[in-house]
Amino acid sequence: MIKHVLCFLVFLHAFHRTHGVEYSVTNKALSTPGGVAFRDKIGADYAKRTLDSATQFIWRVLQLNNPGDRKSVQKVSLFVDDMDGVAYTSNDQIHLSARYVGNYQGDVKREVSGVLYHEMVHVWQWNGNGGAPGGLIEGIADFVRLKANYAPSHWVKAGQGQKWDQGYDVTARFLDYCNTLKGGFVAQLNKLMRNGYSDQYFVQLLGKPVDQLWRDYKAKYGNTA
Ligand SMILES: [Zn+2]
């Protein structure tokens, strides 16, 4: 009997190690108004649940279905820091600006959820071994945020922007268009970016150079300027 219980515990442990990602939330700004706003309006428990749902969502949208498709990240840590800006991610550590949380006008819980989804994409996405354009990296992060219905109202509308790899909302809207041409396009692009990057990936997946796709996209929305 004891032997069976032990076996089960070993199984549980192994299961946890291969399927579970742990999350931690550390509020390092509790002595500031922004840190207090994070504690009172968002809270560590909600943040942890959001980090977990972000991971599940990203794995689904980017089709990272098997552990072998994914980076071997066991734990993601969120820090709420007294700093400028909005947030940044370094490997498996996400840093959120307490000042941004404290000064945000509007639904701060929704906004922070969107920011966490964006940052969590950086944890999981491939970057072409450092060779992918920064604007594409940011565009994929915002594409996932868009698909999660966490796009803020101030984002550009579809068809707006100057170039395809401008980044953030502009590139996210363009990738959304590309994704309508071929379902799962962004997931496949991300998979190709595991070991390197080339603009030719667009030709490979969609049959057209990325500059042509950008012109088609602008034309579709009557914005050929
Ligand atoms: Zn980013």
Q: Is 2 part of a structural domain of the chain?
A: no
Band (7; pLDDT cuts 50, 70, 90): low
User: What CATH number did the domain enclosing 105 receive?
Assistant: 1.10.390.10
- 159: exposed, middle or buried (C-beta count within 10 Å: 0-12, 13-18, 19+)? middle
Ligand 1 centroid vs 134 CA: distance in angstroms? 9
Ligand 1 centroid vs 225 CA: distance in angstroms? 27
Q: Is 103 part of a structural domain of the chain?
A: yes
Half-sphere exposure of 56 (CA within 13 A, CB side): 10
Q: Which tokens go with 149? A: 């219905």
Q: What is the per-residue burial (b if ≥16 Cβ within 10 Å, else e) of 47-65? A: bbebbbebbebbbebbebe
- Across the chain, mean pLDDT equals 93
The mean per-residue pLDDT over the stretch 183-189 comes to 98
- 79: exposed, middle or buried (C-beta count within 10 Å: 0-12, 13-18, 19+)? middle
C-alpha span between 80 and 7 (Å, rounded) = 40
Ligand 1 centroid vs 8 CA: distance in angstroms? 41
Q: Is 16 part of a structural domain of the chain?
A: no
Ligand 1 centroid vs 182 CA: distance in angstroms? 25
Global pTM?
0.91
Ligand 1 centroid vs 224 CA: distance in angstroms? 28
The mean per-residue pLDDT over the stretch 206-222 comes to 97
Range of the domain at 95: 21-124
pLDDT (tens digit per residue) in 85-128: 999 999 999 999 999 999 999 999 999 999 999 999 999 999 99
Q: Where does a domain end: 87, 108, 124?
A: 124
Ligand 1 centroid vs 20 CA: distance in angstroms? 24
SS3 label, residue 95: strand
Q: Which helix (H) or strand (E) holds 24?
A: strand 22-27
Q: Is 112 part of a structural domain of the chain?
A: yes
Ligand 1 centroid vs 27 CA: distance in angstroms? 21
Residues 111 and 162 in one domain: no
Ligand 1 centroid vs 119 CA: distance in angstroms? 6
Q: Where does a domain end: 85, 102, 124?
A: 124
Ligand 1 centroid vs 90 CA: distance in angstroms? 10
Residues 120 and 28 in one domain: yes
